[in-house]
Amino acid sequence: MKKIPDFNNIVNKVDINQQKPLFSRLNKDIPASIVVFLVALPLCLGIALASGAPLLSGLISGIVGGIVIGSISHSSVSVSGPAASLTAVVLASIASLGSFDVFLLAVVLGGIFQFTLGILKAGLIADYMPSNIIKGLLAAIGIILIIAQIPYAMGIAADTADYFDPNKNFFSQVDEAIASFYASLTGGALLITGISLAIMIFWDKTPLKNFKLLPPALVVVLLGVALNVIFQYAVPSLYLEEAHLVNIPNIDSVSELVTFPDFSAITNPEVWGVAITITLIASIASLLAIEAADELDPHKRNTPPNRELVAQGIGNTITGLIGGIPITSVIVRSSVNIAAGAETKLSAILHGIFLLLSVLFLSSILNLIPLSSLAAILLVIGYKLASWDVVSTMFRKGWNQFIPFVVTIVAIILTDLLIGIFIGTLVSIFFLLRSNYHNAFFVENTKIFKGETIRLELSNEVSFFNKASIKNTLWNVPDKSTVIIDATFASYIDQDVLEIFEDFRDTYAREHDINLSIIGLKEKYDLGKDLEFVQEELKDSKKRSTPQDIFDYLKDGNQRYVDGKLVSRRLRNKELMDFINAPPLAAVVNCIDMREPLNVLMNTGIGDLIPIRTAGNLANDHGIKSLEVACQKQGAKFILFMGNSANKIYAQALRDFKEGHDSYLCPLIAEAVEANHITRDLINESNLYEHADVITRWSLVRSRELVIEQSQFLRESIEEGSIGMASGFFNRQNGKIDFSEMHQTSEVINSNG
C-alpha cells in the first residue's frame, strides 16, 4: 500500500525550505547586518535607559537577540532585541521588585513560559490577526520613527539614548521638541541629515544602485563620520560634539558584561506575576512583529509562529541569566534589515556578533558616528512604513478596512504598542460582527409560488451574532407570504437562533398568516415535531405557478447573475432526489455550443429547468416532441429557446459556406442564410460572428413559429395561457440575456428574438 505523506511534516519542510542557505547571500547579508548593527546599537542603549536598567543590559539583549534567537528562529528577516513595548513593564517591575537581580529572575521564568507556549503550539494567535491591524502597526511605527528622529536629525541637544517614549504623552513630547528646536538647532547635524536624506532617496535612481555590496545606509554612516572629521578641522562651527554622537561605555572584559539573577527570590509570588506579564506582552509583540516582517519581506516568506515562540523563549531565558532585559522580535530593526537588502537570517546573527565585538573592542570608533546619520536612515524607513501610498491603498479597500487601520495608528501613537493594537483589534472585531450581521443568510424574494415567497438560505455557521439580522428579516416579511428557511448547508446553528425560529413559528407567523416551512434541519437542531419538510408544498406551489410568474423568475435570476448577487444553489447529494421530484418550471432549448450552465445564468434552483440541447438553435421534429413530453408529462409550464453570441458552430458553418464546402454543418444554416440574404461575398473573418449572431436570433424566432405550426398540444396550451413561450439571446460579453416578449395568443410572432 502506498504510504500517505504526513501533511504536518510537509508543512514543516516547506517552512524550512523557504529559507535560503545561510551563507548563500553574503553579498547582501553582510552589508545589511552592518546597517542593522549601526541602528540597533543606539536603540539598545536608549531602551535600556528608558527601562531604568543598566545600559549594558540593553546591549546584552541585542547580542542575545541577534546570535541566539537569530540562529534558532526560522525567520529570514526578523531581528530581535530589547523592545520599546516593554519599557514601562521593565521600569515598573524593577521598582516593585526592588532589585535588578530579582527582576532578571522574572525574565528567566518568562523565557521558560514562552518556550512552553511554543511547544504547546500557542503561536496560532498570529494567524488570526487582521491584516489591517498589521498595516496600522507598521504605519504607526513609521510615524513614531519620524517623530522620534527629528531631534537627532536637526541636532537638538539631548541625551544620546533619549528616544521617543510611546508610554508618555505624545503631544507633550512634540511640544517639548518644538520648544527646544530654535534653542538647540545644530548646523552640522542639519547638513549631514540633508546630505544623508538625499543619498537615501535618490540612490536607486542613479548608477550607484548597481553596487550591491555598498548599501546607501552604510554609505550614509561612513559619510557622516567623514564629514564630521572634516568639520572638526575645516569648519569648527559645524563640528558635532559628543552629545550628537553615538556613545557606548568602555568594557575591558567579558565578565563586566554579565549580571546573574537572584534565584533566592524564586518563592516571591510577585516575581511570578511579573514573569507572566513579560510572557504575554513579549509573546504577542513578537508574533505581531514577525507577521509585520513577513508582510514587508519582498519574498513573502512565512515564519512559523510556534518556532518563533520557542526561539524567543530560549533567548529570554539566556538574556535573563546573564543580565539582559526582555527581548522580542522588533519591527524597527526588522524593517531596517529588509530595507538594507537582507536575504537570510545570517544578517540578524552577524548584527549580534558585531554588537558583541563593538562593545569589547570598537567603542572608541563607534562613538564617532553622528546620530543625525542614523536619524536620516530611520526617517526614510519611517516614511516607507507610513507613506501616502499605504494610506490610500487601505482607503480603497473600504471603510471596514480603513477605519480599524487609522484607529490602530492613532491608538498606538497616543498610548503604546499593545494597547493600541488591542483598541484597533476591537474596532476590527466590530466591523467583523457588522459583516456577519449581513452574511448569516442569503435572501431570495420570488413569486413563482402562490403569493409572495421569501427564502432564507442559512450560511455554514450561524452564531448568536446573527440573531439581530435574522430576527429583523423574519419580523418584516409581508403578511400572508410563504417563508422557507433552508438550513441544508448549516453545519452549526446557535441555540439562540433556533429559539428565534420557534418564536417566529409559534407567534408571528400564526398571527400574520405566514406559511412557514423549514428544510434541511439536522436532528441536533431539533425544534419539535411541528416543523415540517417543505417539499410536498413546493410541488403543489409549483403547480399553481403561472407562466408569467416563471418568466419573471427567469428574468430576475439573470439580472442577479449580471449584478453578481446570486442566491446560493448548493445541494448535498442526499437531498438531490427531494429537489428533482418536484415539477420543473421550464424546458430550455439551447445549442450545444452554449456550455454556460443555465441554472447559474438564470439563478434557478436544482431541477427547475429541463435542458434540451441541439446542434444550432433551429427547432426540429425531435426537439418539438421533447418539448411536448417536458410539458405534458414532466409538468413544465414554460418553453424558452436560448441562443448565445459568438456561436462557434454557426461560425464554422459560415466558413464552409463561403468556401463552397458541402460540410455536415451547412444544413444548420441553410434556411437562415437564405432568409437573411447572406451571400458568400458578404462573409469575411472580421464579420463572421456578426452573421452568426444574426442567424442565431433568426433561428430563435423561427423555432417559436415551428412550435405553433407543428404541435397541436403546445399551440393550444400556449393560446389558452397554461404554457408560456419566449426566447432569449445570451450575450457572452456581459452575461445579460435579451429576452423576447412572451407569446401567449395566436397573434403573429414578431421578430424581437
Q: Is 593 annotated as a binding residue?
A: yes
DSSP 2: P
Q: In whole angstroms, what is the distance from residue 488 CA to residue 571 CA?
A: 8
Cα angle 122, 125, 129 (rounded to 5 degrees) comes to: 165
The continuous run of DSSP H or E covering 537 comes out as helix 535-544
Cα angle 132, 19, 204 (rounded to 5 degrees) comes to: 65
- Helix axis angle for 621-632 and 712-720, nearest 10°, is 50
Q: In whole angstroms, what is the distance from residue 589 CA to residue 616 CA?
A: 10
Cβ neighbors of 11 (< 8 A, separation 6 or more) are none
Q: Is 666 annotated as a binding residue?
A: no
Helix residue ranges per DSSP H, 84-215: 87-97, 100-119, 131-153, 170-179, 181-184, 187-202
Rg (the chain; Cα; Å): 37
Compute the 3-state secondary structure of the chain and give helix, strand, coil in percent, each to the nearest 5.
60, 10, 30
Q: In whole angstroms, what is the distance from residue 377 CA to residue 335 CA?
A: 11
Residue 492: phi, psi to the nearest 5? -145, 130
Q: Which of 310, 292, 312, 260 is nearest to 384 (CA)?
A: 292
What does the longest C-alpha to C-alpha distance in the chain come to? 112
Count of helices and strands (H, E) across the chain: 32, 13
Q: In what order do the strands lie in the sheet with 724-730?
A: 609-614, 586-591, 638-644, 724-730, 737-739
The continuous run of DSSP H or E covering 515 comes out as strand 515-519
Q: In whole angstroms, what is the distance from residue 351 CA to residue 64 CA?
A: 10
Q: Which of 163, 161, 134 is nearest to 45 (CA)?
A: 161
Owner of C-alpha cell 416579511: 477
DSSP 3-state assignment of 360? Answer: helix
> What phi-psi label fits residue 662: left (phi over 0), alpha (psi between -120 and 50 degrees) or beta?
beta
Given a contact cutoff of 8 angstroms between Cβ atoms, the answer to whether 444 and 452 are in contact is no
Q: Which residues are known binding-site members?
A: 591, 593
**Positions at the binding site for Zn(2+):** 591, 593
